Amino acid sequence: MPGEAGEVGRACVALHRNLSDLHDMAPIDRLYFEGGLPSNGLAGKTNATTLYKLAALAGHAESFAYAINARCRNVPQASWRRHFIGKGSGFKTKDFKALAIQRCHEYGWAPQCDNAGDALGGLDYSIHLSEIVPPWRDATVLRREIA
């Protein structure tokens, strides 16, 4: 996201432009996002500036959804993790990221980095919230068994 540390305006404009471009290509009727991080348990791994930026971006995403009359939901990290890998807490971040990558590979996906693996986990959960059964979760579709 563009902008200097602590500056959220440019990041919000970039997010708005990206969402607007996507909406122009195919109307958005649902918008799910992983909102701000819980402040407990961060143990010095982030700071107030980062939390401010995350909260501003989450608020802007929600505002955009309401402006285009789309359903909107803030998806807690623990919720998508519980759905995607079977556990929402109790591991270190690096372990969660490794498990998300492992699940992606089990579904036949090849994320380029651990953040992409997390994003695919969030996508899988968002599809679940939309009451859609994707092919990788449909028991009637032939696929590898998940160990």
What pLDDT was estimated at residue 136?
85
Domain boundaries, the chain: 1-74, 77-147
What pLDDT was estimated at residue 147?
43
* Torsion over CA: 90, 36, 7, 17 (sign): positive
What pLDDT was estimated at residue 68?
97
Average pLDDT over residues 13-33: 95
What pLDDT was estimated at residue 134?
87
Average pLDDT, the chain: 86
Q: Which two tokens stand for residue 102?
A: 């492992």
82, 91 in Cβ contact below 8 A? no
As a whole number of angstroms, the distance between CA 127 and CA 104 comes to 15
Q: Which two tokens stand for residue 119?
A: 């994003």
Q: Does the pLDDT value for residue 70 go beyond 90? A: yes
21, 68 in Cβ contact below 8 A? no
- pTM of the complete model: 0.79
As a whole number of angstroms, the distance between CA 23 and CA 7 comes to 25
Q: Which run of H or of E encompasses 71? A: strand 71-74
3-state SS class at 128? helix
